[in-house]
């Protein structure tokens, strides 16, 4: 059973409430919220006020992906805004254990993300503590980019490492996930699939969620 996390980055920002409803209709499991600061990544998106406002209109879990420098400064604010999981980038956290413990102490699930150029072996020390690992399958910053093909083997290696160190951990992938790429990442071991353009860029959003699930193997 895969988890589909619909990324609002590709949604119509003038109608986020309506777009969330359509994703829900299609059976999306989580909402993925991409927070960008214009420093760690070359784009600026949303922050806690938008997340707090959306929290009133859906019971779907909020999967908050922080693409920001100094994430420690904002963890509590994102948790209070309604984040169920908070994922930070390995590349932004010099004291990663402390950050992960802080997220958990706030009552959220703690995720750790790596960019395409960051080797997965660097995650071994944090795997016992993290609830989720997120492998970027594009360089973060924008939706609608092409899936990086070499990610499939990286996901496979990460899944093998996770199985030996922390079997219960969730393995999430993000970037370029669509009907043509989803099967390969699921076969490689991914269980949480972030999808933006392939869901919200579709004419029929509920049908796009169902089609992605079917392409993932129907589970
Ligand atoms: C990219 C974000 C992604 C993005 C994925 O930096 O982290 O969550 O929304 O978009 P798609 O699915 O369109 O590649
Ligand atoms: Zn993301």
> How many residues can be counted in the chain?
219
- Residues contacting 82, CB < 8 A, separation 6+: 51, 52, 54, 55, 62
Q: How far is CA 26 from the centre of its chain?
A: 18
Of 18, 53, 11, which Cα lies nearest the Cα of 32? 11
Looking at residue 114, its pLDDT comes to 98
* Catalytic residue IDs: 34, 174
Number of domains in the chain: 1
Looking at residue 185, its pLDDT comes to 98
111 within ligand 1 shell (Cβ under 6 A): no
- Whether residue 219 is predicted with pLDDT greater than 90 in this model: the reply is no
Looking up residue 151, the CATH number of its domain turns out to be 3.20.20.70
User: Out of 52-56, 109-113, 134-138, 214-218, which region has the weakest mean confidence (pLDDT)?
Assistant: 214-218
5 within ligand 1 shell (Cβ under 6 A): no
Out of 4, 6, 9, mutate this one to test ligand 1's pocket (max ligand atoms within 8 Å of CB): namely 9
Please write the tens of the pLDDT for every residue from 159-170: 999 999 999 999
Q: Could you list the residue range(s) of the whole structural domain that residue 163 is in? A: 3-215
Q: Which residues line ion ligand 2, judged by CB < 5 Å?
A: 34, 65, 174
- Whether residue 105 is predicted with pLDDT greater than 90 in this model: the reply is yes
Exposure class string for 97-119: b at 16+ Cβ within 10 A, else e: eebbebbeeeebbbbbbbbeebe
- Residues contacting 56, CB < 8 A, separation 6+: none
Count other Cβ atoms within 10 Å, centred on residue 165: 14
Distance 4 CA to ligand 1 centre (A): 13
Looking at residue 186, its pLDDT comes to 98
Looking at residue 158, its pLDDT comes to 98
Exposure class string for 38-68: b at 16+ Cβ within 10 A, else e: eebbeeebbbbebbeebeeebebbbbbbbbb
What 3-state DSSP class applies to 218?
A: coil
């Amino acid at each position: 059973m895969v988890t589909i996390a619909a990324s609002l980055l590709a949604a119509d920002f003038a109608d986020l409430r309506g777009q969330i409803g359509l994703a829900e209709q299609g059976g999306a499991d989580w909402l993925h919220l991409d927070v960008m600061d214009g420093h760690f990544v070359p784009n600026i998106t949303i922050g806690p006020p938008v997340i707090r406002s959306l929290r009133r209109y859906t019971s779907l879990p909020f999967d908050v992906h922080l693409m920001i420098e100094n994430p420690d400064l904002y963890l509590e604010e994102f948790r209070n805004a309604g984040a169920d999981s908070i994922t930070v980038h390995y590349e932004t956290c010099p004291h990663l254990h402390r950050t992960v413990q802080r997220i958990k102490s706030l009552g959220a699930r703690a995720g750790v993300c790596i960019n395409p150029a960051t080797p997965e072996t660097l995650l071994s020390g944090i795997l016992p503590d993290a609830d989720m690992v997120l492998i970027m399958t594009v360089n973060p910053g924008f939706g609608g980019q092409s899936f990086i093909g070499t990610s499939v083997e990286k996901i496979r290696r990460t899944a093998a490492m996770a199985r030996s160190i922390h079997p219960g951990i969730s393995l999430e992938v993000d970037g370029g996930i669509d009907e043509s790429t989803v099967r390969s990442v699921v076969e490689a071991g991914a269980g949480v699939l972030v999808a933006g353009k392939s869901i919200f860029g579709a004419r029929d959003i509920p049908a796009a969620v169902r089609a992605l699930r079917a392409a993932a193997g129907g589970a």
